[in-house]
Amino acid sequence: MRALALLISLLLWIYVIRTQDANGSETYSNIELQIEGIQQLSDNGLTIVSGADTTVSVKVSGKRDRILQMNASKITATVNVSSITSPGTYSLNYTIAAEVDGLSFGSKSPSQIKLTVDRLSSRSVPVKLQISGKLPDSYELSNWQLTPDAVSLFGPESELAAIDHVEAVFDVSGKTASGQTSLSYTLVDADGGKIENPRLSSDTPSTILNYTIVNSGAVPLAVQFSDSDSLTQDMITYTIEPSSVRVAGDETAVAVIHQISLGTISLRSVMENNLTTVELPIVLPNGVSAVEGEPTTATVTIETPGYTRQAFVLPADRFPQIEGLTYTDTTLEINMFGPEETLHALKAEDFTVAAAVAPETLVEGENIIPFKITVNADKVTLFGDYSVKGVYSPPASPEIP
């Protein structure tokens, strides 16, 4: 009986609370701030540098049954920055809204949102190379070059001013050959301190280091490249093996030889012939000779990161239609060079095929039909001359009555 009486009392209490609509209040904290007008702010050449991560607290009042439906995730705090047109620190009013109706909002903390806004700008800073590690005995880093040797940084004007340069680190430990490598870099202030700032970005995320490592008494080998329309030197990496040769001769003659050129490699030839290695003779300057046992040729290994050569088989339904001509070839293989992702995504519809012959020049029977082929894709090059076989039957002449 006591338990029953307690249960009845509890049910009556809930009934009174629900039916009498008693008022109540609750304070909710750690409500994240939503910012409106970011696009207008960006259009004005501005960005927020502090205050965007502010959280707020608010006191909510209303009927108890409404309060019971509330939690912090159902409350939205919104501030609008679209009216800001110049850098500075602003104290802005913000609005509170809730997903539950019938509630009112009392005290809120903070009473205003404090935001600091700065102008977006850009600045060019030098790239400096930091050498780490130690080369093996008798080897030395004779010269090096960074490309680019300066980068453009973008971000808030005041934060750009703190950047003195960017630093790329090259670890030479165990290296005995010349080559090329890509190095990422970090932001550095005037005191040498490293800076991590997600609001700053760069026009290029890395720099290319070309370096020459020589052995004592050795002369480094070098090679030049002639660019093509679709493949240029900044798109390749390469190594030379051996990277140097030991020479002997008159002391004066040896002293003035800083490198031995192997000649020039055509990058168009690299594309067309799918070359990954090129063997070149080592031609020594007058007045010196190779030390006994030194090689007479060098191998240049070339890589094209992100680019490749690929064949595409074009079906006959893409061939141009010529009255009276029946193609005996059902496919045509097309050789291409370009970005790997682009080549893999190509479809037959991306190719335009035109006959490079006038129909009136065809003879009855078998003909070789030359094609002019183009592809609708950026940075893709087609190689070779293309033609297919077909049998031509002249259309019958109309009868004259």
Is 90 exceeded by the pLDDT of residue 256? no
Q: How many CB atoms lie within 10 A of CB 336?
A: 21
The partner residues of 239 in beta bridges, in order of sequence, read 301
Question: From CA 392, how far away is CA 322, in angstroms rounded?
Answer: 9
CATH number for 217-305: choose from 3.40.1170.10, 2.170.120.40, 3.40.605.10, 2.30.30.40.
2.170.120.40
Is 80 exceeded by the pLDDT of residue 254? no
Higher pLDDT, 56 or 401: 56
Question: From CA 332, how far away is CA 115, in angstroms rounded?
Answer: 64
Q: What is the pLDDT of residues 66-121, one digit of tens each?
A: 777 778 888 888 999 998 999 999 999 998 888 887 777 888 889 899 999 999 88
The pLDDT-based confidence of 15 (bands split at 50, 70, 90) is: low
Domain ranges of the chain: 20-111, 217-305, 308-392
Handedness of CA 52, 58, 62, 65 (dihedral sign): positive
Q: Which residues contact residue 40 at a Cβ distance below 8 angstroms, ignoring those fewer than 6 apart?
A: 81, 82
Is 60 exceeded by the pLDDT of residue 251? no
Is 90 exceeded by the pLDDT of residue 28? no
pTM beyond cutoff 0.85: no
Task: Identify the pLDDT of residue 3.
Answer: 81
Q: What is the pLDDT of residues 133-157, one digit of tens each?
A: 998 876 768 779 999 999 999 989 8
The region that residue 133 occupies, defined by phi over 0 for left and psi between -120 and 50 for alpha, beta otherwise, is left
308-392: CATH topology is: RNA Polymerase Alpha Subunit; Chain A, domain 2 (2.170.120)
DSSP character string of 52-111:
TT-EEEEEEEEEHHHHTT--GGGEEEEEE-TT--SSEEEEE--EEEESSSSEEEEEEESS
Task: Identify the pLDDT of residue 20.
Answer: 47
**Percentage of the chain surpassing pLDDT 90?**
48
Task: Identify the pLDDT of residue 17.
Answer: 56
**Percentage of the chain surpassing pLDDT 70?**
93
Q: Maximum CA pair distance of the chain?
A: 121
24: exposed, middle or buried (Cβ count in 10 Å: 0-12, 13-18, 19+): middle
Tokens of 328: 């005996």
20-111: CATH topology is: RNA Polymerase Alpha Subunit; Chain A, domain 2 (2.170.120)
Task: Identify the pLDDT of residue 272.
Answer: 85
For residue 312, what are the CA distances in angstroms to 129, 268, 333, 343? Answer: 44, 19, 6, 9
Higher pLDDT, 326 or 6: 326
The pLDDT-based confidence of 250 (bands split at 50, 70, 90) is: low
Q: Which residues contact residue 163 at a Cβ distance below 8 angstroms, ignoring those fewer than 6 apart?
A: 123, 125, 153, 187, 188, 189, 195, 200
DSSP character string of 210-274:
EEEEEETTEEEEEEEEE--SS--GGG-EEEEESSEEEEEE-HHHHHT---EEEEEEEHHHHHHTT
User: Do 217-305 and 308-392 show the same overall fold?
Assistant: yes
Q: What is the pLDDT of residues 333-344, one digit of tens each?
A: 999 999 999 999
Question: From CA 366, how far away is CA 145, in angstroms rounded?
Answer: 59
